[in-house]
Amino acid sequence: MNQLVSVIVPVYNHEKFIGVTIESVLFQTYKNWELLIVDDCSTDGSWGIIQEYAKKDSRIRAFRNDENKGLIPNWKFLIDTSRGEYIAFLEGDDFFYENNLKRKLEVFEKYSDLGMVYCNFDVVNEKGEMVTRDYRSFQNVRVYKNECISPSEYLSSKHHLINSYGQVMIRKYILKKVGYPRTLDPSEKVFLPSDWDFNFRVSTQNKVYYLEEVLFAYRRHSNNNSYDAVKAYKHISLLLAEYEKNFRENKGVITAIRYKRGRYTYSKALYYLENGEKGDARRECFNYFKNLQFASLMDFDLNVKLIIRMFLPNFINVYIRRTYYHQN
């Protein structure tokens, strides 16, 4: 087992975190890697930190954009520039645990027709303190061991089956089959569900394998792109419209898409409640129950939760957001 692994890291204003991110690759027990980092015209000290590490280790290849291009062009640049047979995704505020590359490669060695390996992870806060340990157990969703995920199963899951780029290592040639990370909204620098879409395309067209071990830490903080919830709901709607067109002959997938739309309407209602915007929450709640799918009736606990929280005072919903989700 001596294949080159390309770890690719896009960075934008990650001065607080990028040192930890880079060191998590330096400290990998598997040593045959290259680390490709592109700084997307950061306005903080990220680029200086990256340069210092690149001077110390020739396996680190550092690049800097003259203008801010956004996440998708940076993923494409890093993939095209990479030389490894395998690609491990990592963002500039997250970090690997030391056996990440080794354990994933061992699975690829065992299954020659495998396209992707993804792992369990922790969620930490801005200071690196634990928020959620062993996230997959917390989320309690089905996992996959050397098998494809059906499109309807991926779309009808209550929770994301694969959560982020950082969990994932793929064989590079797979990209010729499924395409690169992409955007359906070129007007935005960041297409928020791009990882969800990319993992959908990879896992429904290739066999994937889940590693139970916690090998990665996702950092949740106030500047996470994923916190722009309204924009995320807009973007996911674009994806679901495309999936609906692509799978229009598959009744199971169409049903799952309608269920997923309902889930996101439900989530949007909660988002408005937790931000003290009860008028918008009422509108989304009405839309949710008006278009309720049969599958959504199975989410009885969530439906009751939504109704109860509609009648709570604003300050309680805001308090729930701050304590449960650790947001300010």
CATH number of the domain within which 24 lies: 3.90.550.10
Structure tokens at 49: 């930190």
Name the DSSP letter for residue 187.
T
Query: Cβ(41)–Cβ(122) under 8 Å?
Result: no
Q: Which two tokens stand for residue 77?
A: 């640049």
68 and 214 belong to one structural domain: yes
Nearest residue to 162 (alpha-carbon basis) of 131, 201, 192 = 201
What's 238-277 look like in SS3? Answer: HHHHHHHHHCCCCHHHHHHHHHHHHHHHHHHHHHHHHCCC
- The answer to whether the beta carbons of residues 40 and 68 sit under 8 Å apart is yes
Specify the higher pLDDT residue, 281 or 100.
100
Among 225, 256, 290, the domain-final residue is: 225
- Are 104 and 196 part of one and the same domain? yes
Which residue among 190, 225, 260 closes a domain?
225
Residue 166 pLDDT more than 80?
A: yes
**Quick one: pLDDT at residue 103?**
98
CB-based contacts of 193: which residues, under 8 Å, 6+ apart? 232, 235, 236, 239
Q: Tell me what pLDDT residue 290 has.
A: 76
- 236 within some domain: no
In a domain, 151, yes or no: yes
Say yes or no: 31 and 115 in one domain: yes
Euclidean distance between CA atoms 4 and 31, whole angstroms: 9
Same domain, 257 and 221: no
> Which residue's structure tokens are 């645990």?
97
Pairing of strands 168-171, 86-89: antiparallel
Give the separation between CA 19 and CA 14, rounded to whole angstroms: 9
Q: Is the pLDDT of residue 327 over 60?
A: no
The 10s digit of each residue's pLDDT in 8-22 is 999 999 999 999 999
What phi and psi values does residue 18 have, to the nearest 5 degrees? -65, -30
Which residue from 205, 199, 181, 229 is spatially nearest to 10, judged by alpha carbons? 181
State the DSSP string of 49-109: HHHHHHHH-TTEEEEE-SS---HHHHHHHHHHH---SEEEE--TT-EE-TTHHHHHHHHHH
Residue 287 is which amino acid?
A: N
Question: Which has more pLDDT, 38 or 233?
Answer: 38
Does one domain contain both 97 and 146? yes
Which range is least confidently modeled, 19-23, 281-285, 312-316, 323-327? 323-327
Tally of domains in the chain: 2
Element spanning 205, H or E:
helix 194-205
Lowest mean pLDDT among 97-111, 210-224, 225-239: 225-239
Q: Is the pLDDT of residue 51 over 70?
A: yes
Give the highest mean pLDDT range of 16-30, 211-225, 295-309: 16-30
Cα-Cα-Cα-Cα dihedral sign, residues 235, 237, 241, 247: positive
Q: Are residues 256 and 221 in the same domain?
A: no
Q: Does 269 have pLDDT greater than 70?
A: yes
Q: Which residue has the tokens 């799978």?
A: 247
CA distances from 260 to 18, 136, 149, 152, 326 (A): 34, 20, 16, 10, 25
Q: Give the pLDDT confidence score for residue 326 in this predicted structure.
A: 40
For residue 71, what pLDDT is reported? 95
> Residue 286 has what pLDDT?
82
Question: What is the pLDDT at residue 324?
Answer: 56
What is the model's pLDDT at position 328? 38
Please check whether residue 232 lies inside any domain of the structure.
no
User: Looking at the structure, do residues 54 and 160 belong to the same domain, yes or no?
Assistant: yes
How does pLDDT run across 68-96, given as a tens digit for each residue? 999 999 999 999 999 999 999 999 999 99
CA separation for the pair 279, 64 (Å, rounded): 44
How far is C-alpha 181 from the geometric centre of its chain's CA atoms?
11
Q: Which residues pair with 216 in a beta bridge?
A: 96
Do 111 and 254 share a domain, yes or no? no
Cα diameter, the chain: 60
What per-residue confidence (pLDDT) applies to 223?
A: 64
- Please state the pTM of the whole predicted model: 0.89
Domain range enclosing 301: 247-324
Q: Of residues 295 and 307, which shows the higher confidence score?
A: 307
What is the mean predicted confidence (pLDDT) over 198-215?
98
Higher-confidence residue of 229 and 99: namely 99
Asked whether residue 9 falls in the same domain as residue 83, the answer is: yes
Whether residue 262 is found in the same domain as residue 213: no
